Structures are given as structure tokens and as C-alpha cells.
Structure 1
């Protein structure tokens, strides 16, 4: 049985090894995976949300290095491929190897019942006052921390990353991982993958890690202290 990992193997940290994650019970797809401790915490939060009238579901959980490379490559190919393009891409999408989705602790959430027949966009307006997920958003504001979850991209002033009200991180585990990312080791992974825009990325990799990985919204004390049943 997988156990909570406060230290990930380098290949797990960078999204190249998925042995730390497993399918989330009851998820809409077997492809949605998390670390078991994060999954147990989510299921408890999901049950509480259901009692309050919300159908809390995961849109995206674990995402590997190859998938992140695909996202990056598409955006780079459709850009001006210069410094401004690099900043714009990093504002919305993580550099492969640095995505918090690699860790199995982070997930994007929504309520399919509130969405109705519309297609999920994962855009801020959906979670705003008059958006379809406004009520779920308020419930998460009030209750997510007691299950260990918080919004790590809640304030663009603390990071170059755009605000993502749908993105939640399981603090008892994820708090340990950003500092484990080593720019030199990351550079080797990116070079081996022949990442588009590699020369520009490598020229400022330490700055990218500092501004887009290490600088996120701090986890509240309540979320850091939370544990799932059986993880004491």
C-alpha cells in the first residue's frame, strides 16, 4: 500500500515516475490519480460537500512530464517564441518538471451538476459571483482548509502564475516539494526532452523556479495541520 511521501524520488518529483499515485476511488475516470493520502482527504471533503448540496468532482489530478511537455510544446509553437512569449506561457502553464500536478497532491475541481450542458472551461469567471460554480467556490472558501486543501494560486501578487480558483493543493504533503526541485537536475531533464525554447528557458531557469514554483500563496495553518483518517 502506498504511504504518504513527504520526500519524493527525483523521477516522481519531475513527473517521470508515477509509482507514488493511484486511481481515486469513485472518480469519473480511472485516469484521475493522486497520492493515496491526498485522495482520502479529497473523498472526505467530497462527502462533506455532498451533504451541503455540491457535487464536487476532480477535473484533473496527476499529470506526467510528457503531458506537460505536450501542453508546453503546443503553446510555444503558437507563440512568438521570445521572452514575452515565455512569460505569457509561464503565467498560465507550468514548465514541464515543475508542475504541481506531477506530485499527486494537486487537483482541479468543479461541479458538473452546476455546469449543466455547458463545457467546462476552467476559467476564473466560472467560479466568480455569478458563475456556475459560485456556490461551490464559497463552500470551498469556508471548508477546504479543514481537509488539508488550499488554493496555491489565489493571489497573482505572490507569484507570476495566474489566479486559479479551481486548483487545490493538499498542504500536508505538497508543502515539502517545491524546495526539493533542483535547477541543475531539472535542466538535465529538460535537455533530455529537447524542450521547445530550451535555450531561453535554461538561460533563466533559476529565476523561473524562484518566481513560478517557490512563490505561491502560502498554505493556511489549518490546512497544514490537517490529516486524513489513518494518516496520524
Structure 2
């Protein structure tokens, strides 16, 4: 299976390669998305162009998109109801971009459409890195904090726990990210349990793998 990844930084992309491999059980063939993004707004802006490029110019099977939730509304099962859309939920927003962009696309390269796999790191990808290492860090803990109006930790605190500094170099970010995601090699069940928005990404990836096998 051929997988392209779009995320907020090169460090995120490096980590996602390891996480995607953990979910699928074997490394897929990774394909360049053709565009780079820096930060959440830019990911949403370039996504339609990335989808069109991969659909018409490559035979990529699935595009994986991962961004941080930051302080946005966290996606829940209620958002998966038919026709439901929450304008402040980044999962809902990214899925809507896929729907709008692919709606009238003709088949290309022997497939009907480019498949999507979307994940939202709550509140940031560093929380995923701490899964299983810091029991206080989970999606439920963050949601409970939002409801109480008092976050259990800040994004800056997560970064400090992972990198040992609030201003890591890109090389240090990548080294730390790869070290942490290596703990999930071959088994992403803990991450899927503690972070439902990662589990959504995992489901999309496995469904795409199954479709690619049937094609």
C-alpha cells in the first residue's frame, strides 16, 4: 500500500511514519505528498491541492493527515452521526475538506478515489509520545480538564516532558519523537485506547489497507 502523509512539521512526519507502520504491522511504501505545511492553518489550506496532486499524478492509496487539536473542540463519537458537522472540530473540518475536494473527481490510476486517514493529536502530538510513559496524559484527562475549565497540563508542559526543553532544535525533536514512537512498534493498542482520535486514524488506515488488498 502506498501512503502519503501531511502534518504540521518534518518532526511530526518522521514520527507518523513509525506510528503508521505500527498500526499496519508492516511499513507501507511512503510517497511524498507534493506539498509541505507548517502549522494547522497551513495544513487545511494546502490539503485540497495535496489531494488533487496525489489523485491525478500518483497511484497513492491513502493520504494520512494529522494535526494538533490545540484548544479546539475535541472530536467525539457524537460527531460521527450522519450529516453531523462541528465547525470547531478539526477532525470534522479535515474530513469535510476531503469530501468537498473528492466529490466530483473522476477515477484515476486504476482507483475510484484517494482514501483518507485523519487523526487529531489531543492536545498535541507530544501527548501521543508520552502515552504509556506518563499515566496522567490521555485524551480523557484533557476532555475532563476542558469540562472543568482547568487543563491538566499545557502544551508547553508536554513539550518539556518529551524534549527536556521548550525550545528544541528540529533534529532534537525528531530524535525524541522517533525514540518515543519506537515503543509502539508492532502494537499500537495502548495508544488507540488512550487517544480515541488516534484510534480514528488507525481505523482509517486499516480500512484503506483492506480496500487496497481487494482492488
More helix per residue: 1 or 2?
Answer: 2
Higher relative contact order (Cα pairs below 8 Å, separated by 6+ residues): 2
Please tell me the TM-score bracket, short chain as reference: under 0.3
TM-score w.r.t. structure 1 length?
Answer: 0.24
TM-score w.r.t. structure 2 length?
Answer: 0.26
